[in-house]
Amino acid sequence: MRAWEVTGEAGTLGRVRLGERPVPVAGPGEVLVRVEACGVCRTDLHVADGDLPMRRRRVVPGHEVVGTVVEGVAQGRFAVGDRVGVAWLRHTCGECRWCRRGAENLCTRAQFTGWDHDGGYAEHVVVPSAYAYRVPGDLSPEQAAPLLCAGIIGYRALRRTGLPPGGRLGLYGFGASAHLTAQLAIAQGSEVHVLTRGAGARELALELGAASAGDAYDAPPVPLDAAIVFAPVGDLVPVALEALDRSGTLVLAGIHLSDVPPLDYQRHLFLEKRLTSVTANTRADGEELLRLASALSVRAAVTTYPFEAADVALEDLSSGRLTGVAVLSGWSAGG
């Protein structure tokens, strides 16, 4: 089969390379999936550019995968021909204190698709049946793929804000995850204010129903009850904290963030403001998000790239040329 692998040449079109590999074999409890679409996530960029430590040499990135089961029927969950989703979280131990209390996203022995194990920038991928998702029938592969990380992480971040009904939410950065989170929040009655550097992203935010859209370093027009920083820019942390109203919560939604500058207690943290982060997701988060996205008609603003252009998609994401989310599509029937 054809597959893209990380080369270690960070920051260039050569950060991933297309080659041939054997079709993987599904082991006990696993299913083999023929890939139909795979979202291009900023975490893929962090893996390819070395922002995250190497877990596996020449790993195949990609963890927003939608495809069809072609082999392996495990635990009665899926049959050959079923459409499934493959996400970031691939394995948890089930034994550590975090797993035992229902916080499997904090598992000390967690493993991840496209980082510890080969992911979806390939014609086939293997996934443990217990960590695959059933994809709602009303979602195309290209629409479902971004939900499997951008959507799930945005949903978990939104929940962690503790945003009150009808509350004011600020979103810093407006890429793949933020534009899906905005739709969820607006559909549930929140007032959303978007702060981002891209003019195209600001236009998209207003089209989706945001109450305002300004530059990332602007002050929002009203004090915020909560905010989420999606951009991997530590400089935005004090900016977002200062924009919060009393008792507001700031959530950091990225797996990687540049250094955060010093905080001034009175300006940034006093009046019971809270600062927290998101670490991966639980499978329950994913199941809930897929149901909600279908019920609330959440739709990704998708730019599709052929499978052969994964390197171009990553470069467009890195350079800020992309609005919404990139999805690889158009796999051949062979492999």
Confidence at residue 189, expressed as pLDDT on a 0 to 100 scale: 96
DSSP at 116: T
Its pTM surpasses 0.75: yes
Read off the pLDDT of each residue in 302-328 and give the average, rounded to a whole number: 95
Residue 283 has pLDDT above 60, yes or no: yes
Asked whether 1 and 21 are in contact (CB, 8 A), the reply is yes
Residue 301 has pLDDT above 50, yes or no: yes
What dihedral angle (degrees, nearest 10) is formed by the CA atoms of 180, 282, 135, 184?
-20
> How far does the chain reach from its first CA to its final CA, in angstroms?
4
Q: Could you tell me whether strands 212-214 and 30-40 are parallel, antiparallel, or unpaired per DSSP bridges?
A: unpaired
How confident is the model over 132-191, as pLDDT tens digits? 999 998 899 999 999 999 999 999 999 999 999 999 999 999 999 999 999 999 999 999
Q: Which domains does the chain have, with CATH numbers?
A: 2-135+301-329 (3.90.180.10), 152-277 (3.40.50.720)
**Count of alpha carbons within 13 angstroms of residue 160, beta-carbon side:** 22
Tell me what the pLDDT averaged over the chain comes to.
95
